[in-house]
Structure 1
Amino acid sequence: MLVVSFFLFRVMPGDPAKTLGRGRFSTPEQLEEFNKAYGLDQPLPQQFVTFLKNTLTGDFGISLRYRVPVSDLILDRMWPTILLVGLSTIFATVIGVWLGIRGAWNRGGKFDNFSTGTSLTLYAMPEWWLGLLLIAAFAVGFGPIPGYFPTGGLHSIDVDPNSVAGWFDTARHLTLPVVTLTLAYLADYALIMRSSLLDELGEDYLTTARAKGLRDVQVRNRHAVRNALLPTTTLVALNIGFVVSGAITIETVFSIPGLGLLATEALSVPDYWVLQGTFLVASAGVILANLVANLLYGLLDPRVRT
Structure 2
Amino acid sequence: MAVSTVPGTTTRARARFLTGTSGYVIRKLSWSLGTLFFVLVFNFFLFRMLPGDPVGLYNRGRNMPAGQMAKLRAQLDQPIGQQFLDYLANPFASTINSTRFNRPVWEIVGERVWPTVMLVGTAILIASVAGVWIGIRSAWRRGSGFDRGATSITLVLYAMPEFWLGMMFLIAFPFFPSGGITTPDDGSMVDVAWHMVLPVTSLALVYLAEYSTIMRASLLDELGQDYLQLARAKGLKDDLVRRRHAVPNALLPTMTLILMNLGFVIGGAITVETVFSWPGLGLLSYEALRGPDIPLLQAIFLLFSIGVVVFMLIADLLYAIIDPRVSSS
Q: What band does the TM-score fall into relative to the shorter chain? A: 0.7 to 0.9
CA deviation vs aligned residue, 1:185-207 (integer Å, no higher than 9, x gap) = 22221111111111110111111
- Residues 1:77 and 2:112 aligned together: yes
C-alpha distance in structure 2 between counterparts of 1:238 and 1:128, whole Å: 20
What percentage of aligned pairs have identical amino acids?
49
**Residue 93 (structure 2) aligns with:** 59
- Contact 1:81/1:260 (<8 A) preserved: yes
C-alpha distance in structure 2 between counterparts of 1:187 and 1:264, whole Å: 26
CA deviation vs aligned residue, 1:114-150 (integer Å, no higher than 9, x gap) = 1111111112111111101111112x2xxxxxx1x21
CA deviation vs aligned residue, 1:91-134 (integer Å, no higher than 9, x gap) = 22221111111111111221111111111111211111110111
**Residue 126 (structure 1) aligns with:** 161
Q: Secondary structure at the match of 1:281?
A: helix
Write the letter of the residue equivalent to 2:158: Y
Q: Secondary structure at the match of 2:73?
A: coil
**Residue 274 (structure 1) aligns with:** 296
- Taking the TM superposition and a 5 Å limit, the aligned residue runs for 1:145-294 are 147=175, 149-159=176-186, 161=187, 166-240=188-262, 247-294=269-316
Task: Compute the displacement of 1:214 (Å).
Answer: 1.3
Q: CA RMSD in A?
A: 2.7
Task: Compute the displacement of 1:153 (Å).
Answer: 0.2
Task: Compute the displacement of 1:75 (Å).
Answer: 1.2
Report the CA distance shift for 1:18/1:232 in structure 2 as closer, same or farther (over 3 A).
Answer: closer
For this pair of structures, how many residues does the alignment match?
284
- Contact 2:100/2:293 (<8 A) preserved: yes
Question: What is the TM-score of this pair, normalised by structure 1?
Answer: 0.83
Report the CA distance shift for 1:35/1:196 in structure 2 as closer, same or farther (over 3 A).
Answer: same
Q: Secondary structure at the match of 2:269?
A: helix
Task: Compute the displacement of 1:209 (Å).
Answer: 1.2
Report the CA distance shift for 1:120/1:34 in structure 2 as closer, same or farther (over 3 A).
Answer: same
Q: Secondary structure at the match of 1:185?
A: helix
C-alpha distance in structure 1 between counterparts of 2:300 and 2:72, whole Å: 19
Write the letter of the residue equivalent to 1:152: G
- Taking the TM superposition and a 5 Å limit, the aligned residue runs for 1:33-112 are 36-39=70-73, 42=76, 46=80, 50=83, 53-54=86-87, 56-57=89-90, 58-61=92-95, 62-112=97-147
- Residues 1:3 and 2:61 aligned together: no
Task: Compute the displacement of 1:169 (Å).
Answer: 0.8
Write the letter of the residue equivalent to 2:44: F
Q: Which has the larger radius of gyration?
A: 2
Report the CA distance shift for 1:251/1:40 in structure 2 as closer, same or farther (over 3 A).
Answer: farther
- Residues 1:116 and 2:138 aligned together: no
Unaligned segments of structure 1, at least 5 residues: 141-146
Task: Compute the displacement of 1:305 (Å).
Answer: 5.5
